[in-house]
Structure 1
Amino acid sequence: MDRRPGGRSARVRDAVRQATIAELAEHGYSGLTVENVAIRSGVHKTTVYRRWGSVEGLIADALELAREEPWPIPDTGSFRDDLREIVRLVQSGFADPVAGPISAAFVTAAVQNGDAARSLHDFFVARHEQAAEVVRRAVERGELAADTDGAEVIRMAVAPIYYRLFITHEPVTERDAERAADAAVAAARAGVLSAPTSDPR
Protein backbone atom coordinates (compact mmCIF):
# COMPACT_ATOMS: atom_id res chain seq x y z
CA MET A 1 0.00 0.00 0.00
CA ASP A 2 1.23 3.46 -0.86
CA ARG A 3 1.78 5.30 2.45
CA ARG A 4 3.43 8.37 0.97
CA PRO A 5 1.79 11.74 1.59
CA GLY A 6 -0.80 12.25 -1.07
CA GLY A 7 -0.94 8.53 -1.83
CA ARG A 8 -4.63 8.26 -0.98
CA SER A 9 -5.38 11.42 -2.93
CA ALA A 10 -3.72 9.94 -6.01
CA ARG A 11 -5.70 6.70 -5.63
CA VAL A 12 -8.96 8.65 -5.30
CA ARG A 13 -8.17 10.64 -8.42
CA ASP A 14 -7.33 7.52 -10.40
CA ALA A 15 -10.52 5.76 -9.25
CA VAL A 16 -12.65 8.73 -10.27
CA ARG A 17 -10.89 9.08 -13.62
CA GLN A 18 -11.39 5.39 -14.41
CA ALA A 19 -15.01 5.55 -13.30
CA THR A 20 -15.60 8.58 -15.52
CA ILE A 21 -14.21 6.78 -18.55
CA ALA A 22 -16.28 3.67 -17.79
CA GLU A 23 -19.45 5.74 -17.42
CA LEU A 24 -18.75 7.55 -20.69
CA ALA A 25 -18.27 4.21 -22.43
CA GLU A 26 -21.61 2.92 -21.15
CA HIS A 27 -23.80 6.03 -21.17
CA GLY A 28 -22.07 8.71 -23.25
CA TYR A 29 -21.83 12.39 -22.36
CA SER A 30 -25.58 12.88 -21.91
CA GLY A 31 -25.74 10.03 -19.40
CA LEU A 32 -22.70 11.03 -17.35
CA THR A 33 -23.53 12.09 -13.78
CA VAL A 34 -21.42 12.89 -10.74
CA GLU A 35 -23.58 10.53 -8.70
CA ASN A 36 -22.91 7.52 -10.93
CA VAL A 37 -19.20 8.27 -11.06
CA ALA A 38 -19.14 8.44 -7.26
CA ILE A 39 -20.92 5.09 -6.97
CA ARG A 40 -18.70 3.37 -9.51
CA SER A 41 -15.48 4.77 -8.05
CA GLY A 42 -16.42 4.16 -4.42
CA VAL A 43 -15.63 7.81 -3.65
CA HIS A 44 -18.18 9.81 -1.67
CA LYS A 45 -20.31 12.11 -3.79
CA THR A 46 -19.42 15.19 -1.76
CA THR A 47 -15.73 14.51 -2.37
CA VAL A 48 -16.30 14.23 -6.12
CA TYR A 49 -18.28 17.48 -6.16
CA ARG A 50 -15.66 19.26 -4.07
CA ARG A 51 -12.69 18.20 -6.23
CA TRP A 52 -14.24 18.07 -9.70
CA GLY A 53 -17.30 20.28 -9.39
CA SER A 54 -19.29 18.94 -12.35
CA VAL A 55 -19.35 16.36 -15.12
CA GLU A 56 -17.29 18.78 -17.24
CA GLY A 57 -14.63 18.80 -14.54
CA LEU A 58 -14.63 15.02 -14.56
CA ILE A 59 -14.22 14.95 -18.32
CA ALA A 60 -11.43 17.51 -18.25
CA ASP A 61 -9.52 15.38 -15.74
CA ALA A 62 -10.14 12.18 -17.71
CA LEU A 63 -8.77 13.92 -20.80
CA GLU A 64 -5.61 14.75 -18.90
CA LEU A 65 -5.21 11.05 -18.15
CA ALA A 66 -5.77 10.20 -21.82
CA ARG A 67 -3.22 12.83 -22.88
CA GLU A 68 -0.53 11.15 -20.78
CA GLU A 69 -1.01 7.78 -22.46
CA PRO A 70 1.44 7.03 -25.29
CA TRP A 71 -0.02 6.70 -28.78
CA PRO A 72 1.22 3.86 -31.00
CA ILE A 73 3.12 5.53 -33.82
CA PRO A 74 3.61 3.37 -36.94
CA ASP A 75 7.03 2.98 -38.52
CA THR A 76 6.53 1.27 -41.88
CA GLY A 77 9.42 3.00 -43.62
CA SER A 78 6.99 4.90 -45.84
CA PHE A 79 5.48 8.31 -45.07
CA ARG A 80 2.28 7.50 -46.96
CA ASP A 81 1.79 4.19 -45.19
CA ASP A 82 2.59 5.67 -41.79
CA LEU A 83 0.05 8.45 -42.25
CA ARG A 84 -2.56 6.01 -43.51
CA GLU A 85 -2.04 3.93 -40.37
CA ILE A 86 -2.51 6.97 -38.13
CA VAL A 87 -5.76 8.03 -39.80
CA ARG A 88 -7.06 4.46 -39.81
CA LEU A 89 -6.29 4.34 -36.08
CA VAL A 90 -8.49 7.41 -35.53
CA GLN A 91 -11.24 5.99 -37.73
CA SER A 92 -11.23 2.58 -36.03
CA GLY A 93 -11.09 4.19 -32.59
CA PHE A 94 -14.39 5.97 -33.17
CA ALA A 95 -15.86 2.76 -34.63
CA ASP A 96 -14.85 0.77 -31.54
CA PRO A 97 -17.91 0.00 -29.37
CA VAL A 98 -16.03 0.84 -26.16
CA ALA A 99 -13.53 3.55 -27.14
CA GLY A 100 -15.83 5.25 -29.67
CA PRO A 101 -18.44 6.60 -27.23
CA ILE A 102 -15.69 7.88 -24.94
CA SER A 103 -13.98 9.81 -27.72
CA ALA A 104 -17.30 11.18 -28.96
CA ALA A 105 -18.22 12.28 -25.44
CA PHE A 106 -14.97 14.21 -25.11
CA VAL A 107 -15.73 16.14 -28.29
CA THR A 108 -19.35 16.76 -27.30
CA ALA A 109 -18.30 18.05 -23.89
CA ALA A 110 -15.74 20.38 -25.44
CA VAL A 111 -18.43 21.99 -27.58
CA GLN A 112 -20.48 22.78 -24.48
CA ASN A 113 -17.91 23.64 -21.83
CA GLY A 114 -14.82 25.86 -21.82
CA ASP A 115 -12.81 23.75 -19.38
CA ALA A 116 -13.46 20.61 -21.39
CA ALA A 117 -12.56 22.49 -24.58
CA ARG A 118 -9.22 23.57 -23.15
CA SER A 119 -8.50 20.04 -21.99
CA LEU A 120 -9.38 18.63 -25.39
CA HIS A 121 -7.12 21.23 -27.03
CA ASP A 122 -4.21 20.16 -24.82
CA PHE A 123 -4.99 16.53 -25.60
CA PHE A 124 -4.79 17.14 -29.34
CA VAL A 125 -1.61 19.22 -29.04
CA ALA A 126 0.04 16.24 -27.34
CA ARG A 127 -1.33 13.75 -29.88
CA HIS A 128 -0.29 15.86 -32.85
CA GLU A 129 3.23 16.21 -31.46
CA GLN A 130 3.50 12.45 -30.95
CA ALA A 131 2.12 11.64 -34.40
CA ALA A 132 4.34 14.25 -36.08
CA GLU A 133 7.20 11.79 -35.57
CA VAL A 134 6.18 10.16 -38.86
CA VAL A 135 6.76 13.51 -40.59
CA ARG A 136 10.15 13.96 -38.93
CA ARG A 137 11.19 10.52 -40.14
CA ALA A 138 9.98 11.34 -43.65
CA VAL A 139 12.11 14.48 -43.64
CA GLU A 140 15.13 12.45 -42.55
CA ARG A 141 14.51 9.97 -45.39
CA GLY A 142 14.30 12.83 -47.88
CA GLU A 143 10.60 12.29 -48.63
CA LEU A 144 9.60 15.77 -47.45
CA ALA A 145 11.14 19.22 -47.25
CA ALA A 146 12.82 20.11 -43.98
CA ASP A 147 10.37 22.92 -43.26
CA THR A 148 7.28 20.67 -43.37
CA ASP A 149 4.99 21.40 -40.41
CA GLY A 150 4.48 18.00 -38.79
CA ALA A 151 1.53 18.94 -36.59
CA GLU A 152 -0.24 20.60 -39.53
CA VAL A 153 0.18 17.45 -41.62
CA ILE A 154 -1.51 15.42 -38.88
CA ARG A 155 -4.32 17.97 -38.50
CA MET A 156 -5.05 17.90 -42.22
CA ALA A 157 -4.98 14.11 -42.33
CA VAL A 158 -7.44 13.51 -39.49
CA ALA A 159 -9.71 16.55 -40.02
CA PRO A 160 -11.99 14.83 -42.58
CA ILE A 161 -12.72 12.08 -40.05
CA TYR A 162 -13.97 14.56 -37.47
CA TYR A 163 -15.90 16.51 -40.10
CA ARG A 164 -17.81 13.44 -41.21
CA LEU A 165 -18.48 12.24 -37.67
CA PHE A 166 -19.44 15.49 -35.97
CA ILE A 167 -20.52 17.93 -38.71
CA THR A 168 -22.22 15.96 -41.47
CA HIS A 169 -22.83 12.80 -39.39
CA GLU A 170 -21.74 10.50 -42.18
CA PRO A 171 -20.24 7.04 -41.78
CA VAL A 172 -16.45 6.87 -42.03
CA THR A 173 -14.96 3.88 -43.82
CA GLU A 174 -11.38 2.69 -43.97
CA ARG A 175 -11.28 3.96 -47.55
CA ASP A 176 -12.34 7.40 -46.33
CA ALA A 177 -9.45 7.31 -43.88
CA GLU A 178 -6.98 6.35 -46.56
CA ARG A 179 -8.18 9.11 -48.90
CA ALA A 180 -7.83 11.68 -46.12
CA ALA A 181 -4.27 10.51 -45.44
CA ASP A 182 -3.38 10.51 -49.13
CA ALA A 183 -4.65 14.09 -49.52
CA ALA A 184 -2.43 15.21 -46.64
CA VAL A 185 0.53 13.34 -48.15
CA ALA A 186 0.01 15.10 -51.48
CA ALA A 187 -0.24 18.50 -49.78
CA ALA A 188 2.89 17.87 -47.72
CA ARG A 189 4.89 16.75 -50.76
CA ALA A 190 3.72 19.82 -52.68
CA GLY A 191 5.06 22.10 -49.96
CA VAL A 192 1.60 23.39 -48.99
CA LEU A 193 2.10 22.41 -45.33
CA SER A 194 5.41 24.12 -44.64
CA ALA A 195 5.91 25.72 -41.26
CA PRO A 196 5.42 29.52 -41.23
CA THR A 197 8.62 31.53 -41.10
CA SER A 198 7.07 33.92 -38.62
CA ASP A 199 3.88 34.22 -36.61
CA PRO A 200 1.44 36.25 -38.75
CA ARG A 201 -0.28 37.44 -35.60
Structure 2
Amino acid sequence: MTEEEPEAIRRRPGGRAARVRQAVLTAAMEVLAEEGIARLTIAGVAARAGVNETTVYRRWGTREKLVLDAMLAGSSAGIPVPDTGAVRTDLAAFARALAEYLATPTGRSVARAAALSSDDPDLAEAWQTFWQSRLDQAGVIVTRAVERGELPADTDTALVLELLCSPLQTRAVLGHRPIEPDLPERLTSLVLDGLRARTDG
Protein backbone atom coordinates (compact mmCIF):
# COMPACT_ATOMS: atom_id res chain seq x y z
CA MET A 1 0.00 0.00 0.00
CA THR A 2 1.37 3.39 -1.01
CA GLU A 3 1.92 5.88 1.78
CA GLU A 4 0.57 9.43 1.52
CA GLU A 5 1.94 12.58 3.04
CA PRO A 6 0.06 13.85 6.12
CA GLU A 7 -0.95 17.07 4.33
CA ALA A 8 -2.50 15.07 1.48
CA ILE A 9 -4.41 12.98 3.99
CA ARG A 10 -5.76 16.07 5.75
CA ARG A 11 -6.90 17.58 2.45
CA ARG A 12 -9.10 14.55 1.72
CA PRO A 13 -10.90 13.80 5.04
CA GLY A 14 -13.69 11.93 3.28
CA GLY A 15 -11.48 9.86 1.02
CA ARG A 16 -8.71 7.37 1.62
CA ALA A 17 -7.85 8.86 5.03
CA ALA A 18 -11.37 8.22 6.31
CA ARG A 19 -11.32 4.65 5.02
CA VAL A 20 -7.92 3.99 6.60
CA ARG A 21 -9.05 5.45 9.92
CA GLN A 22 -12.20 3.31 9.96
CA ALA A 23 -10.26 0.17 9.02
CA VAL A 24 -7.71 0.73 11.77
CA LEU A 25 -10.30 1.54 14.44
CA THR A 26 -12.36 -1.51 13.48
CA ALA A 27 -9.27 -3.70 13.64
CA ALA A 28 -8.31 -2.25 17.02
CA MET A 29 -11.74 -3.01 18.47
CA GLU A 30 -11.64 -6.54 17.06
CA VAL A 31 -8.26 -7.21 18.66
CA LEU A 32 -9.45 -5.69 21.93
CA ALA A 33 -12.54 -7.92 21.93
CA GLU A 34 -10.66 -11.09 20.98
CA GLU A 35 -7.38 -10.74 22.87
CA GLY A 36 -7.73 -7.92 25.39
CA ILE A 37 -5.77 -4.75 25.74
CA ALA A 38 -2.62 -6.42 27.08
CA ARG A 39 -2.04 -8.16 23.73
CA LEU A 40 -3.04 -5.28 21.50
CA THR A 41 -0.11 -3.93 19.50
CA ILE A 42 0.10 -1.37 16.73
CA ALA A 43 1.81 -3.93 14.50
CA GLY A 44 -1.01 -6.42 15.02
CA VAL A 45 -3.72 -3.83 14.40
CA ALA A 46 -1.98 -2.56 11.27
CA ALA A 47 -1.68 -6.07 9.88
CA ARG A 48 -5.34 -6.80 10.50
CA ALA A 49 -6.40 -3.49 8.97
CA GLY A 50 -4.22 -4.06 5.91
CA VAL A 51 -2.18 -0.87 6.32
CA ASN A 52 1.45 -0.12 6.96
CA GLU A 53 2.52 0.14 10.59
CA THR A 54 4.01 3.56 9.90
CA THR A 55 0.57 4.79 8.82
CA VAL A 56 -0.82 3.97 12.26
CA TYR A 57 2.10 5.55 14.09
CA ARG A 58 1.89 8.71 12.00
CA ARG A 59 -1.79 9.19 12.73
CA TRP A 60 -2.02 8.02 16.37
CA GLY A 61 1.56 8.07 17.62
CA THR A 62 1.09 5.63 20.49
CA ARG A 63 -0.84 2.47 21.26
CA GLU A 64 -2.68 4.30 24.06
CA LYS A 65 -3.99 7.00 21.73
CA LEU A 66 -5.11 4.36 19.25
CA VAL A 67 -6.96 2.41 21.95
CA LEU A 68 -8.60 5.59 23.23
CA ASP A 69 -9.77 6.67 19.77
CA ALA A 70 -11.11 3.19 19.02
CA MET A 71 -13.02 2.96 22.30
CA LEU A 72 -14.51 6.43 21.91
CA ALA A 73 -15.62 5.70 18.36
CA GLY A 74 -17.03 2.31 19.29
CA SER A 75 -18.87 3.44 22.40
CA SER A 76 -20.27 6.57 20.75
CA ALA A 77 -21.72 4.45 17.94
CA GLY A 78 -22.91 1.68 20.25
CA ILE A 79 -24.25 3.88 23.05
CA PRO A 80 -25.96 6.91 21.50
CA VAL A 81 -27.20 9.71 23.74
CA PRO A 82 -31.01 9.88 23.38
CA ASP A 83 -33.17 12.99 23.31
CA THR A 84 -36.74 11.89 24.01
CA GLY A 85 -37.90 15.10 25.65
CA ALA A 86 -38.08 13.70 29.20
CA VAL A 87 -35.37 12.73 31.66
CA ARG A 88 -36.96 9.41 32.61
CA THR A 89 -37.14 8.11 29.07
CA ASP A 90 -33.71 9.58 28.24
CA LEU A 91 -32.03 7.80 31.15
CA ALA A 92 -33.86 4.54 30.50
CA ALA A 93 -32.97 4.59 26.80
CA PHE A 94 -29.33 5.37 27.58
CA ALA A 95 -29.18 2.54 30.12
CA ARG A 96 -30.77 0.12 27.64
CA ALA A 97 -28.23 1.06 24.98
CA LEU A 98 -25.41 0.54 27.48
CA ALA A 99 -26.79 -2.86 28.48
CA GLU A 100 -27.00 -3.92 24.84
CA TYR A 101 -23.44 -2.70 24.20
CA LEU A 102 -22.14 -4.57 27.24
CA ALA A 103 -23.75 -7.74 25.91
CA THR A 104 -21.42 -7.67 22.90
CA PRO A 105 -17.85 -9.07 22.98
CA THR A 106 -16.46 -5.61 22.30
CA GLY A 107 -18.53 -3.98 25.04
CA ARG A 108 -17.49 -6.59 27.60
CA SER A 109 -13.84 -6.21 26.63
CA VAL A 110 -13.97 -2.44 26.98
CA ALA A 111 -15.68 -2.70 30.37
CA ARG A 112 -13.18 -5.24 31.66
CA ALA A 113 -10.17 -3.36 30.33
CA ALA A 114 -11.39 -0.07 31.78
CA ALA A 115 -11.95 -1.70 35.18
CA LEU A 116 -8.29 -2.72 35.44
CA SER A 117 -5.82 -0.48 37.18
CA SER A 118 -2.70 0.32 35.20
CA ASP A 119 0.82 1.15 36.22
CA ASP A 120 1.33 2.68 32.79
CA PRO A 121 0.68 6.43 33.20
CA ASP A 122 -0.10 6.85 29.49
CA LEU A 123 -2.71 4.10 29.58
CA ALA A 124 -4.16 5.39 32.85
CA GLU A 125 -4.48 8.83 31.26
CA ALA A 126 -6.19 7.30 28.23
CA TRP A 127 -8.77 5.62 30.46
CA GLN A 128 -9.41 8.87 32.31
CA THR A 129 -9.88 10.71 29.02
CA PHE A 130 -12.25 8.00 27.82
CA TRP A 131 -14.47 8.16 30.91
CA GLN A 132 -14.47 11.97 30.95
CA SER A 133 -15.40 12.11 27.28
CA ARG A 134 -18.29 9.69 27.77
CA LEU A 135 -19.42 11.63 30.85
CA ASP A 136 -19.38 14.89 28.89
CA GLN A 137 -21.39 13.33 26.06
CA ALA A 138 -24.02 11.67 28.25
CA GLY A 139 -24.12 14.56 30.71
CA VAL A 140 -26.30 16.50 28.30
CA ILE A 141 -29.19 14.29 29.47
CA VAL A 142 -28.93 15.81 32.95
CA THR A 143 -28.26 19.31 31.59
CA ARG A 144 -31.43 19.24 29.51
CA ALA A 145 -33.42 17.89 32.48
CA VAL A 146 -32.24 20.77 34.66
CA GLU A 147 -33.16 23.27 31.94
CA ARG A 148 -36.65 21.75 31.71
CA GLY A 149 -37.07 21.93 35.47
CA GLU A 150 -37.19 18.15 35.88
CA LEU A 151 -34.09 18.07 38.09
CA PRO A 152 -32.73 20.61 40.58
CA ALA A 153 -30.01 22.98 39.43
CA ASP A 154 -27.41 21.46 41.76
CA THR A 155 -27.85 17.90 40.45
CA ASP A 156 -24.51 16.07 40.35
CA THR A 157 -24.30 14.93 36.73
CA ALA A 158 -21.46 12.48 37.27
CA LEU A 159 -23.17 10.87 40.26
CA VAL A 160 -26.45 10.41 38.37
CA LEU A 161 -24.70 8.63 35.51
CA GLU A 162 -22.53 6.56 37.84
CA LEU A 163 -25.57 5.38 39.82
CA LEU A 164 -27.34 4.50 36.59
CA CYS A 165 -24.47 2.77 34.79
CA SER A 166 -22.29 1.17 37.47
CA PRO A 167 -24.59 -1.80 38.21
CA LEU A 168 -24.71 -2.63 34.50
CA GLN A 169 -20.94 -2.39 34.14
CA THR A 170 -20.35 -4.44 37.29
CA ARG A 171 -22.52 -7.26 36.02
CA ALA A 172 -20.78 -7.20 32.64
CA VAL A 173 -17.32 -7.29 34.23
CA LEU A 174 -17.97 -9.80 37.01
CA GLY A 175 -20.62 -11.83 35.26
CA HIS A 176 -22.12 -13.06 38.53
CA ARG A 177 -25.64 -12.04 37.55
CA PRO A 178 -27.26 -11.36 34.18
CA ILE A 179 -28.58 -7.97 33.11
CA GLU A 180 -32.34 -8.48 33.20
CA PRO A 181 -34.35 -6.80 30.42
CA ASP A 182 -36.13 -4.51 32.88
CA LEU A 183 -33.02 -3.52 34.83
CA PRO A 184 -32.42 -0.23 32.92
CA GLU A 185 -35.92 0.98 33.80
CA ARG A 186 -35.58 -0.14 37.43
CA LEU A 187 -32.28 1.68 37.80
CA THR A 188 -33.77 4.78 36.22
CA SER A 189 -36.61 4.75 38.77
CA LEU A 190 -34.20 4.28 41.68
CA VAL A 191 -32.03 7.20 40.55
CA LEU A 192 -34.95 9.56 39.96
CA ASP A 193 -36.74 8.51 43.16
CA GLY A 194 -33.56 9.23 45.08
CA LEU A 195 -33.24 12.69 43.51
CA ARG A 196 -36.87 13.51 44.28
CA ALA A 197 -36.51 12.35 47.89
CA ARG A 198 -33.50 14.62 48.32
CA THR A 199 -35.41 17.55 46.85
CA ASP A 200 -38.55 16.90 48.93
CA GLY A 201 -36.49 16.57 52.10
Q: For residues 72 and 161 of structure 1, what CA distance do their matches in structure 2 show?
A: 16
Change (3 A) 1:85 1:67: closer
- Distance in 2, matches of 1:177 and 1:124, equals 20
In structure 1, stretches of 5+ residues that fail to align are 193-201
Q: Say if 2:95 is the partner of 1:87.
A: yes
Match among 116, 127, 131 for residue 124 of structure 1: 131
In structure 1, what is the equivalent of residue 117 of structure 2?
111
Using the TM superposition, give the Cα deviation of residue 68 of structure 1 relative to its aligned residue in structure 2, in angstroms.
7.2
Note if contact 1:91-1:172 (Cα within 8 Å) is conserved in structure 2: yes
- Cα pair distance change 1:170/1:123, threshold 3 Å: same
| Alpha-carbon RMSD | 3.5
The match for 1:158 among 161, 165, 189 is 165
Task: Tell whether the 8 Å contact from 2:79 to 2:98 is kept in structure 1 after alignment.
Answer: no
The alpha-carbon deviation at position 95 of structure 1 amounts to 0.8
Q: 2:148 aligns with which of 138, 141, 154?
A: 141
TM-score (ref. length: structure 1): 0.71
CA distance in 2, matches of 1:157, 1:92: 14
Q: Is the 8 A contact 2:108 2:172 kept in 1?
A: no
CA distance in 1, matches of 2:161, 2:129: 15
Paired-residue identity, %? 36
3-state SS in 2 of match to 1:187: helix
2:9 to 1, 7, 10: 7
Which residue in 1 is equivalent to 2:71?
Answer: 63
Q: TM-score, normalised by structure 2?
A: 0.71
Structure 1 or 2: more helix by fraction: 2
Residue 188 (structure 1) aligns with: 195
Residue 7 of structure 2 aligns to which amino acid in structure 1? P
For residue 198 of structure 1, what is the aligned residue in structure 2? none
Give 1:173 shift: 1.8
